[in-house]
Amino acid sequence: MTRARELGIRIGELEPGPLDAITDVGGVRVGHETLWEGDEVRTGVTVVVPPELPCFAGADRLNGNGELTGLEWLRESGLLTSQIGLTNTYSVGVVHDAIVAVRVREGTDLWHLPVVGETYDGFLNDIQGMHVRAEHLEAALAAAADGPVEEGCVGSGTGMICHGFKGGIGTASRRAGDWTVGVLVQANHGRRSRLTIDGVPLGRELGPERIPAPGIPEGAGSIIVAAATDAPLLPHQCERLARRAALGIGRTGGAGENSSGDLALCFSTGNRALGAAEGVVGVSMLPNEAIDPLFYATIEATEEAIVNALLAAETTTGRAGRVVHRLDPDALVEVMRRYGRL
């Protein structure tokens, strides 16, 4: 597993946190459960778990050909009230109900509106087999941990395809003054020819004649972005950060294609104990005037998380013998050098 920084790629102006991962935001945990069975099962579940629920959050849609359940309540209340579950398109329901069951056991509110996102892995995975079960969500939750985050063909990223290369889970972070922004993506979007890394037209240089392309409609797929920050942001400010994820997607060559579900949410860990139902609650707010570094951090971390997803993924054979090739790091380095980088 190679990461962008290990190759010397430096996206943007800000420095990453120690792990260059969403877990650089204190208390955030990530868990994966990978389903890799026989020739046809290439899927899984990934969870992102805030240190405390509820927390302030906001969401944004670059293109809506996807599902991220729970957004009506997240936007209305300004709160994220469940762990974030990620999976494939046909397993949204089972993961949704599994989170409900977990929340019931945890003895929280009467009703539950979990946040579950998806992208489509049916090219490599037997998606119609609906192999994801409630136990897989529970296993991902049980595995949720801080520290380094496994990337690439893991958890819900197992069967994903990004810009015509093997895609999956990626993460990155940025320091923005006193604060940290961390991003995790499930990258399953984009056309090969439009891929740019740190501004270099990788996709044009590494066409299908150099690295074979999967035989799927280009631009299909989707990307889900989960962003976290320890800056004390109010809900509308979280939404502003979520909207900047689109710029990171765009800088890497994404366009929010029609068949893509490009949805982002951002939560803040900077305010705690928001669950109180009585009295007036004291909360902290970063003034809007100080928010620009967080915008830059979100853009840069999203961009790098996508690159990390590409670099970590391995060439994968799946359903019907289909093969999706990884973005070869050596080829990447060669092109980057030719364009005056590295």
CB of 297 to a copy of itself, least distance (A): 10
Window 84-113: residues binding a copy of itself (CB under 8 A)? 89-98, 100-101, 104, 110-113
Examine residue 54 and say whether the peptide bond preceding it is cis (omega within 30 degrees of 0). yes
Q: Where are the alpha helices (DSSP H) in 162-227?
A: 202-205
Q: Is 260 a catalytic residue?
A: yes
- Strand pairing category for 55-64 and 79-80: antiparallel
Shortest Cβ distance from residue 155 to a copy of itself (Å)?
A: 19
Is 120 a binding residue for a copy of itself by CB under 8 A? The answer is: yes
Dihedral of the alpha carbons of 230, 236, 242, 248, in degrees to the nearest 10: -100
The only residue of 65, 144, 315, 329 in contact with a copy of itself, by rule CB under 8 A: 65
Q: Letter for the amino acid at 211?
A: I
DSSP assignment, residue 16?
A: P
Q: Is 299 in the site for a copy of itself (CB under 8 A)?
A: yes
Interatomic CA distance for residues 3 and 173, integer angstroms = 13
* Residues 13-32, interacting with a copy of itself (CB under 8 A): 13
Residue in 194, 319, 325, 326 binding a copy of itself, rule: CB under 8 A: 194
Give the DSSP letter string of 151-167: -BSSGGGTT-EETTEE-
Q: How far is the CB of 69 from a copy of itself (least distance, A)?
A: 6
331 interacts with a copy of itself by CB under 8 A? no
Contact set for a copy of itself, span 235-294 (CB under 8 A): 235-237, 240, 243-244, 246-251, 254-259, 261, 263, 274, 276-292
| CA–CA dist 309, 3 (Å, integer) | 8
Of 121, 222, 230, 268, the catalytic one is: 222
Nearest to a copy of itself of 46, 188 (CB atom): 188
Nearer to a copy of itself, 76 or 314 (CB): 76
- Minimum gap (Å) between residue 50 Cβ and a copy of itself: 18
Q: Which is nearer to a copy of itself, 169 or 291 (by Cβ)? A: 291
DSSP 297-323: HHHHHHHHHHHHHHHH---EE-GGG-E
Q: What are phi and psi for residue 275, nearest 5 degrees?
A: -80, -10
Q: Which residues pair with 85 in a beta bridge?
A: 47, 116
Residues 131-190 contacting a copy of itself, CB under 8 A: none
Amino acid at 232: P
Burial class (CB in 10 A: 0-12, 13-18, 19+), 276: exposed
For tokens 């809007």, what's the residue?
A: 288
Q: Which of 296, 310, 313, 327 forms a contact with a copy of itself (CB under 8 A)?
A: 296
Q: How far is the CB of 286 from a copy of itself (least distance, A)?
A: 6
Least distance between a copy of itself and beta carbon 227 (Å): 14
**Which among 22-30, 69-77, 145-153, 313-321 is the span making contact with a copy of itself, rule CB under 8 A?**
69-77
Of the residues 82, 173, 260, 268, only one is catalytic, namely 260
Q: One of 24, 146, 262, 268 is an active-site residue; which one?
A: 262
Give me the residue label for tokens 């999706």. 324
Residue 107 or 147 with smaller CB distance to a copy of itself: 107
Positive or negative torsion for Cα 222, 325, 126, 123: positive
Is residue 163 within 8 Å of 194, Cβ to Cβ?
A: yes
For position 342 contacting a copy of itself by CB under 8 A, the verdict is no
List, by residue number, the catalytic residues. Answer: 222, 260, 262
